[in-house]
Structure formats: C-alpha cells, structure tokens
Amino acid sequence: MLAMRSLVLRATPAARKQAVRTFSGNWEYPKVEGSVADVTKALTTIGARLSIPTAPLYFTPLKIDHIVREMKGKDELLQVYKTLLLCDAKLAYPSNFASGSFFSACIKLDAADTALEFLRTAENVRHYVKNQSFLRLAEYFAAQEDQETVEEIVQIMKTKRVPVTYKMYTFRVLNAKKQGKWDEAVAIAKEAANEIQINSNLIIELLQDGHGGILKEHLPLARYLADKGDVYVNARLADILAGGDGKLPEPVVEDPEQTEEAKSEETAETKTEDK
C-alpha cells in the first residue's frame, strides 16, 4: 500500500490526469447546479429511492444549504419543505443553518403553518433544529394570540425529546405570567431551575409586578429558584433578596477622551505650581 502511494506521488502530471480519468466516481459529487426547483426535484425524485445508509451521500449539506439559501417565494419554500422532510425520514439531517433559515423564511413569508406542519411530521428534529427556531415560532403564534399552537409547540418538543434551553424556558415563564397564569409560570420556572436553565434576570422578571415593583411575598420562591438552579446571583437579584427593590444606580461610564483631557490639565497645573 505504501509502495503504491509512493508510485502515485512520483507520477508525472500526465499520469495523474490519466488516473483521474479512470476513476469511475466523481469526487466533486454531488455538484450544486440549476435552480431551486431543479435541485429539489432531483433530490426528492432520486432521494426517495435511496436507502438510509446511502441517503446522506446524496443529501449533502452543500446541496441542502444551497436550496435553502437560494429559495424565494412560497412555491420554492414548499419544495424545500418537502425536501427537508425527506432528509429527516432518510436520517440525512440538514445543517443548523439550513433548518434555522427554513424556519426564518416561513415566518418572513407568513407561512408559519408550514413550519408548524414540518415539526408535526418530522420525527428527528432534536438532531438539527435548534431551540431558537422553536422559540421564534412560539413567539410568532403568541403574538397572534394563538396560545393553543404555542402549547402544541411545547408538547412537540417534549414528545420528540428536544432539550430545552433557558431562552425557551424564559419565554414560557413570561408568556404564562402575561396571561395571568401564575401557578403555571411558577411550575415552569421550577422545571427550568431543576434543569439548570434559569438565571437571575428570569427570577427578577418573575418577581416583578405590572408596575416594575417587586412582589416581596414571593422572595422565598426566588431563593428556592436561585439555589435549585445553581444561579449566579447578580447585583440586582442580590439587592432584591436582601429586601431591596433591585433598582440600583446606573454605573458611571467615563469618556476616555475627557479622562485624558482631565489628566493632561492636572499635569499642566502641577507643572505650573512647581514653577
């Protein structure tokens, strides 16, 4: 094997070119050429016949990223949707870029229902759809006052075993609180603390009333969440836990130029006095 490799390395450029010609495959395969419609048609037609072990060789990130990046309008979005579902079924998972861009495009093109249907159908989203995409979709439906769909998104994440990050927990806690569901907000906050996905800012926002004040009767809850969630207690939360209102003075930020001018003036005055 080493001898063969040595012979190849010593070969002339012409000999190497001949070796390339005799290679039966295409080492640039698959190439990304054609419109989004052409590429998605080829992917769905050929890809549907491929076995799970061979599918990832055809559904490459290069191709999938290309169609997601180049798609325009709802018709092409629908073609990409079908392609991504086939990728999921064949275990040829799209990149985080592709899935994130797809969800963003769905929301931008007022096709959030397409993204929701994708989550309902795809079985392996935990492997490639980030929490940020679930969050954007949940925020979109919350803004439409469609709480039923928001809850469905949460249940999809649970059913398909998608790990939940602190940003999604923050949204869920504050969304429940906004609806006046205090007990639900507390339950979600405790779940977040149990998963070590809570921080000082979320605890503070949970404690705030509608006027920016602090609900002092819930300080024991705040202490529990901070301890359970192994939270780094920032200055505001520390002040609240000590009985304050958390309204600390803003730190004074000095202008570097003014500071230098002041130093120069002091130096000049000192020199004048020395004289």
What confidence tens digit (pLDDT) does each residue in 84-135 have?
Answer: 999 999 999 999 999 999 999 999 999 999 999 999 999 999 999 999 999 9
Query: How far does the chain reach from its first CA to its final CA, in angstroms?
Result: 86
Distance CA 55, CA 155 (A): 30
Residues 6+ apart with CB under 8 A from 250: none
Q: How confident is the model at residue 247 (pLDDT cuts 50, 70, 90)?
A: confident
Distance CA 46, CA 63 (A): 13
Q: Nearest to residue 124, comparing CAs of 151, 99, 149, 141?
A: 99
Distance CA 199, CA 167 (A): 10
Q: Nearest to residue 101, comparing CAs of 125, 139, 130?
A: 130
Q: Most distant CA pair in the chain: distance in Å?
A: 93
Number of helices and strands (H, E) in the chain? Answer: 16, 0
Distance CA 264, CA 271 (A): 11
Least-confidence region, from 95-109, 183-197, 256-270:
256-270
**b/e 12-23 (16+ beta carbons within 10 angstroms → b):** eeeeeeeeeeee
- The pLDDT of residue 256: 54
Residues 6+ apart with CB under 8 A from 167: 131, 132, 135
pLDDT tens figures, 7-45: 444 545 554 444 334 333 343 444 567 789 999 999 999
Q: pTM of the full predicted structure? A: 0.78
Burial of 206 (0-12, 13-18, 19+ CB in 10 A): buried
The gap from C-alpha 272 to its chain's centroid, in whole angstroms, comes to 61
Residues 6+ apart with CB under 8 A from 257: none
